[in-house]
Amino acid sequence: MRSYIDNYIEQHNNNTFERYLSELRLEKVSNILNIRNPKRILDIGIGLYPVYINYRKYVIYSGIERSKELCNKAFKKSIDAGFKNEYCITSITCGDCENDDDLKLACRHSETYDDIILNSILHFIKDPKEFLIKLKKYMSKSCIIYINVPNSKSFHRMLGLYTKDIKDIYELSDMDIKFGQINRFCLNTLETLVTDCGFSAINKGTFCIKPFPEHQMNKIIDRKLFDGLDMLIGVFPSFGCELFMEIV
């Protein structure tokens, strides 16, 4: 776990494609929250980007992150951003979301939630089906679960397949293995998973075109290029490097 944390922090301290992408992930889910206006939010696997940084209209925010160091850095990040909400409950629990006791502790301020956020976490979960089913008891009647994971049918994965750099779009890359990723999804396989768990997808799509692998992107990336790649999704709507799905 130590190497994962070091790699993660290094990625987000430098001018990397992943840093820009993490900020975009937060922006995407924040836009959805601002439309829905949920009052109780469960944010699972926050990393350095808890959603309360961008979304302030909640009454109860419960976050869980397995790394104490990342929890502390997330709090500092929110303070540096000028966050202050004295009239709401904001808690981040250091724990393993796959552990029932840790998840229960994280949810100590509310029995159910209006929105559950799985922002770039499901592909690290050992048993995604069991995990999604377990979350049902924390859902209010109007709850939506937001899922974001890397897209195996992204532009750069498909390019890698046709150039024969990879044999299968679902195989784990060296970067995936370095960060402990276990699963890979496309829109079809993710929707099959959520359907098997008894959920329905009410909104889905992809975002941000990534032409080349991470190490190549890091050599050329800047804000102007990244914003252009994000807008390019209008031309290639199914080939974004990230996919999202809202399920009920």
Q: What pLDDT, on the 0 to 100 scale, is given for residue 248?
A: 98
Q: What pLDDT, on the 0 to 100 scale, is given for residue 90?
A: 86
Nearest to 208 by CA among 189, 179, 184, 236: 236
Q: Which amino acid is at 18?
A: E
The tally of CA atoms less than 13 A away on the side-chain side of residue 229 is 24
Q: What pLDDT, on the 0 to 100 scale, is given for residue 87?
A: 66
Could you tell me the pTM of the whole model? 0.93
228 vs 40, 118, 242, CA distance in Å?
A: 34, 26, 15
CB atoms within 10 A of CB 90: 18
Residues in the chain predicted with pLDDT less than 70, given as ranges, are 1-4, 78, 81-87
The tally of CA atoms less than 13 A away on the side-chain side of residue 178 is 9
**DSSP class per residue in the chain:** -HHHHHHHHHHHHSS-HHHHHHHHHHHHHHHHHHHH--SEEEEES-TT--GGGT----SEEEEEES-HHHHHHHHHHHHHTT---TTSEEEEEES-TTSHHHHHHHTTT-SSEEEEEEES-GGG-S-HHHHHHHHGGGEEEEEEEEEEEEBTTSHHHHHHHHTTS-S-TTSPPHHHHHTT----B-HHHHHHHHHHTT--EEEEEEE----S-HHHHHHH--HHHHHHHHHGGGTSTT--SEEEEEE-
Domains located in the chain, CATH noted: 2-247 (3.40.50.150)
